[in-house]
Chain A
């Protein structure tokens, strides 16, 4: 019969865990049971491991234009909406959100800050319309480094025609650095009846700088420690 003593067993176990598991000050990390020591280099991530990209436009206040706020990576439009809501509306006032697949945005060349990009493009007069026109959304960038803002909607049968229309309707005033053109059907918009999803901000004062008032404590501390200082 083979006898193994408890003490021996414990020592072995301890040796085993010491050798193979990464010990951390962080209990969560220890629970992950991470292997210790050199790991072989990770395989390069597969293409699209981080999904495709979507562009988000937020509306800061009722009645204002939707403005570009940044991209998100997501597996589909709905998840892109959720990610963008979390990423871009979590900390700032927001009453509406639009999502567009990056691929579905037509981008013109970029002009300088003093130029109007419509003047730099040769826009063909639209030919006879063979198809039914559909709505397109137009976004203008007024200054480099700023964000594209929704300028309005035009009816057209192609991106080129939409640009031509946009120039006629909105292209006259001031410098326009760049234009984005998107078919309206490619824009996922937050619904009017879901407005209450934007109302959580005021309950979370603990994540605002203004919630932290330290001067009273500092002043009190200084008063009390004047003589000892």
Chain B
């Protein structure tokens, strides 16, 4: 699963004038021809920084996203669901490993990324700062958060950076199981007893507002965004992803007789666009900056795992080891 909603702010590296014009032209021509960029290629600083940031956030989202669902492994109803939930959580942690490696090829070490995560310097998908109160919450995450993630990842897999595309190809294949598993779990509840229906509706009501912020606020169209789109770093606008998600999943929610807690939600048949209540972006900003119901817990869990496992890693470390970044 993935947290979308990358906010691509301009950075001080935005100034392309400092780049070698001949190399920049060659780089852009390669992307225009549809060729992928590989780690050893020359690349503009802006390209490198934005990709590190994006892939790193994606990796953190996988590893933190495993926490609200991991919570439910021991309490999953039935052996088969426990096994499936476990397999899914293991997949997510595996995705983090793949993504950390892809980011590493750009020059940031896994040690630096983990330190930045624990210290709150790098972000992860904001939706994971909300709790999974019941088993039904876990089902909604498995289905709809993963659905959102797939919309995002399918777009990003067509991006220009080779290692990220390779990782996403594997990730998307595994996500297909997550989506079906989540849908199955939600359908089971929605077509079950009145109590089960009530539970899944309550979970949907809790998760809808975070889901609507999942893809991030509308992009400000700037030369910066245009550059990143031309370089195939950003593959679709946040609003395009949100529209695609609504198109694919609102009908599937409605066919189960569930309601979406937004009275304004409807598809405008003339424009073909979904209309909805604007998500609370002030809350989004507040939570992403640390003040959400689970921020402290998520980071404390991650930090404790790192700290309590440190002696094992130290004991295993080969004194002759030498760091070389992964090749591809």
Contact = CB atoms under 8 A, between A and B. Distances in A.
Interface of A: 22, 24-29, 32, 34-36, 39, 41-42, 44-53, 55, 68, 70-73, 75-76, 79, 86-87, 90-92, 101-103, 105, 107, 109-110, 112-113, 144-148, 177-178, 180, 204, 206-214, 217-218, 220-222, 225, 229
Contact of B173 (A39, A51, A91, A102): A91
Nearest to A37: B296
Contacts of B303: 39, 42
B165 interface: yes
A72 B97 CA distance: 8
A15 B247 CA distance: 50
Nearest to B84: A206
Given A41-B119, A50-B109, A112-B35, A32 B301 contact: yes
Interface in B165-196: 165-167, 170, 173-174, 176-177, 179-181, 183-184, 187-188, 190-191
Given A26-B67, A112-B30, 6 more contacts: A39-B303, A42-B118, A102-B324, A144-B38, A221-B187, A225-B257
Nearest to A207: B87
A93 B277 CA distance: 46
Contact of B326 (A36, A53, A217, A221): A53
A70 B115 contact: no
Contacts of B187: 214, 217-218, 221
A210 B181 CA distance: 10
A144 B36 contact: yes
Interface of B: 30, 33, 35-38, 40-41, 67, 70-71, 74, 80, 83-84, 87-88, 90-91, 94, 97-98, 101, 104, 109-112, 114-115, 118-119, 131-133, 162, 165-167, 170, 173-174, 176-177, 179-181, 183-184, 187-188, 190-191, 255-257, 296-297, 300-301, 303-304, 306-307, 310, 313, 316-318, 321-328
A53 B325 contact: yes
Given A79-B316, A102-B326, A113-B35, A29 B184 contact: no
Contacts of A44: 111-112, 115
Nearest to B326: A71
B84 A51 contact: no
A64 B125 CA distance: 39
Contacts of B318: 52, 75-76
Given A28-B71, A55-B327, A144-B38, A212 B296 contact: no
